[in-house]
Structure 1
């Protein structure tokens, strides 16, 4: 397998991760973390870069990627969890988020419009084009995607260099949520990129690509996967750190609602209207190709699992759902995402860790069942807590667990459950 193809695979994986929606979170981290910028961005990188890298490796250790990993717990659980993951990186969150970013950074600022009606008009046009491209994939999409990501990175690099030469670093008080635990706050903010969840779905794409290019054995496949993942991880880390730094140093007087507004203001301050228009056009195209790719991925998965509905039927369904949610507005989309991601991430993290553990120490059915069951219970209660549904007596009991105040109370119980399940399986094996 040629080194050139591994490099190309790394760029491809980076492109899969780097949906335009990921532009909006790092600037917010930089602006809100203030003088705690370094620990905050370190925590953010852990969940938005390092964890996805581990997820890619864990996918290489499984025959069929996410579905195979999750079915080690139970076939029904595997199907349900894989479906939830695809829906979350598709029509219920990632797709409307990307469309909303396209509206905020492109359509809205280029035409200087705002309000519900312009958003509705934009979403009809945007998703109409998305549907046509999704059900009639052509070489045009590959061509645009091939040149679009480099163009976006070049524009971002120019923006960062100009910001470095223009803006002046000054002390800044952190927002309240970053004052007590900036590292862990950054860790949770990394959830919203959804990179780790997306890695569970994207992993099989990279694995199949490496196999088609000559990876004939497990060792060669793992080597190619690790190198591919490293290339993508380095690219993501560089982009995230750069964007967060812009948010940290950009001067502003009025309150800013989200990272999209930060980038709009920064591009206007640094390049004027013409520069911000160019930036908006490129981001809009990036959002479009991202949505086409996600529609294809989700439609293909559900058509393979539930073939009674055609791929075009799924594509149309997901287009309609995505368009409806887009019209809620970017801030509303970001706010309702918290319960969903709070539920998915503990399960995904445990699944990734167990898959890596199994590779070195051997498999265990009970290890998966016990650990995932515990993680699911904690994740479900955390999701309910996002809606202010809590039980005081249960909170008192859970408060004795390590990292409870930081939202990571599930870690020790899940670890203990995995150890118990693994030990029980090993004893049964010895006694047979």
Structure 2
């Protein structure tokens, strides 16, 4: 039986970590740290739940079913599962996450050196997605190109930044913004959505499993074990990166007060700490981090859509890279603005799907439980999304002021109530079937 060597398992863990650490992972923690002020660690705790805990749990859930998202979503039916998968792949692929990797790496790393002009962004994104296209053509080599080469470089750069955040703070912690004074944990929790890591985990599951299989491992038990180990290594790495970036942001009040996003905070800190060399260092760090994630997302999306569309993997890589290139030229601010409502709507049913996948032995029929709870979480997630999109005035007063609505968690209470009702129905229907038998 073929098994992975210790160095291969470590490379797999590094690859998984590198796939996750992209644009959102680097720009959101600093702004949370800056705005949370003295409440930074409570906000960090909420952030770590959605940006580390959920992705790791999702990788484990996918590993248990072979890595494919359609196997995980089977309780809600083939059509609904297919729609959910397509939405997730598109959201973390060419619509939001992949283009965002290019715009973030440009605006944080290169724009301070070249100027923030549309032409500079276009030329940078063109070269960027040509590299993404070239590396994505060979998904079987990801463990070598990413796990053994790009990931260690990325980890080294992040380690330098992380050590500096604690050893060379830019200043004292500032005053917390009102939202973080009122509810720091839930603010961090919602900001963790924006990293898209849970959706990314749903997409990367098959990439991780295929990387294991590329080494000749075909035992389902071993594949599951290695995928879980890789997820845990990645989770530990993510937590360390976030803690460092929270500290960086919290101590940057004196140099980045009033910053509109984490990219501004990062640039201000690096310029303050490392001087002119800092801009070059940051450009390399951000480009490496974002490039690896873009490759992983492009491979995953091409793998998925090649199975359901009459297009080859290579043709899809070309289409995905080309479309991402076009979307990336909208700019970072517009991309974040568009993505927030969509993520707020689709995250709740994805969280429900992953959480309930671990409880399937507690009821007679998965579909009776999973389908209604996911539907309710989606409906109330859409209500939160409407509020996030500035459409709260269009909603009835009762819907606009649901329990936990101010924290962006209006879906949670209805989902728990639906779960309780679904479990009772499942017990009753299950007993009836047994009685008739």
Aligned position for 1:181:
183
Return the alpha-carbon distance in structure 1 between the equivalents of residues 393 and 368 of structure 2.
Answer: 29
Aligned position for 1:381:
383
1:144-159 alignment, distance < 5 Å: 146-159=148-161
1:196-211 alignment, distance < 5 Å: 196-209=198-211
Cα displacement string for residues 200-220 of structure 1 (whole angstroms, at most 9, x for unaligned residues): 1222333455566657465x5
Residue 234 to residue 363, structure 1, CA distance change in 2 (3 Å): farther
Residue pair 2:170, 2:269 contacting (<8 A) in 1 also: no
Q: Which residue of 26, 30, 33 maps to 2:36? A: 33
Return the alpha-carbon distance in structure 2 between the equivalents of residues 409 and 140 of structure 1.
Answer: 40
Given the alignment of the two structures, is residue 271 of structure 1 paired with residue 300 of structure 2, yes or no? Answer: no
Cα displacement string for residues 164-204 of structure 1 (whole angstroms, at most 9, x for unaligned residues): 33326524111232121010000000001111111112223
Aligned position for 2:74:
71
Return the alpha-carbon distance in structure 1 between the equivalents of residues 315 and 170 of structure 2.
Answer: 52
Residue pair 1:17, 1:198 contacting (<8 A) in 2 also: yes
TM (norm. structure 2) is: 0.89
Aligned position for 2:103:
100
Residue 222 to residue 310, structure 1, CA distance change in 2 (3 Å): closer
Residue 231 to residue 410, structure 1, CA distance change in 2 (3 Å): same
Return the alpha-carbon distance in structure 2 between the equivalents of residues 243 and 237 of structure 1.
Answer: 10
Q: CA deviation at 1:37?
A: 0.6
Q: Which residue of 43, 48, 53 maps to 1:45? A: 48
Cα displacement string for residues 146-165 of structure 1 (whole angstroms, at most 9, x for unaligned residues): 32222222222223333433
Return the alpha-carbon distance in structure 2 between the equivalents of residues 221 and 424 of structure 1.
Answer: 36
1:176-255 alignment, distance < 5 Å: 176-209=178-211, 216=219, 218=221, 223-250=225-252, 251-252=254-255, 255=258
Residue pair 1:300, 1:311 contacting (<8 A) in 2 also: yes
Q: Which residue of 304, 307, 311 maps to 1:304? A: 307
Equivalent residue of 1:89, what SS?
Answer: helix
Residue 391 to residue 104, structure 1, CA distance change in 2 (3 Å): closer
Given the alignment of the two structures, is residue 87 of structure 1 paired with residue 113 of structure 2, yes or no? Answer: no
Residue 196 to residue 112, structure 1, CA distance change in 2 (3 Å): same
Residue 364 to residue 292, structure 1, CA distance change in 2 (3 Å): closer
Q: CA deviation at 1:17?
A: 1.0
Equivalent residue of 1:172, what SS?
Answer: coil
Equivalent residue of 1:167, what SS?
Answer: coil
Residue pair 2:61, 2:354 contacting (<8 A) in 1 also: yes
Return the alpha-carbon distance in structure 2 between the equivalents of residues 253 and 8 of structure 1.
Answer: 37
Aligned position for 2:419:
418
Q: Which residue of 56, 60, 63 maps to 1:57? A: 60
Return the alpha-carbon distance in structure 2 between the equivalents of residues 215 and 312 of structure 1.
Answer: 25
Equivalent residue of 1:384, what SS?
Answer: helix
Q: CA deviation at 1:272?
A: 1.6
Residue pair 1:26, 1:247 contacting (<8 A) in 2 also: yes
Residue pair 1:364, 1:421 contacting (<8 A) in 2 also: no
Aligned position for 2:130:
128
Q: CA deviation at 1:321?
A: 2.5
Residue 243 to residue 397, structure 1, CA distance change in 2 (3 Å): closer
The unaligned stretches of length 5 or more in structure 2 are none
Return the alpha-carbon distance in structure 2 between the equivalents of residues 140 and 69 of structure 1.
Answer: 24
Residue pair 1:102, 1:283 contacting (<8 A) in 2 also: yes
Cα displacement string for residues 337-382 of structure 1 (whole angstroms, at most 9, x for unaligned residues): 1111001110111101110111455642211121111112112222
Cα displacement string for residues 290-313 of structure 1 (whole angstroms, at most 9, x for unaligned residues): 22222121112111111x223333
Q: Which residue of 302, 320, 323 maps to 1:321? A: 323
The unaligned stretches of length 5 or more in structure 1 are none
Return the alpha-carbon distance in structure 1 between the equivalents of residues 21 and 202 of structure 2.
Answer: 15
Equivalent residue of 1:257, what SS?
Answer: coil
Q: CA deviation at 1:65?
A: 2.8
Residue pair 1:145, 1:289 contacting (<8 A) in 2 also: no
Aligned position for 1:352:
354
Cα RMSD, aligned residues only = 2.6
TM (norm. structure 1) is: 0.90
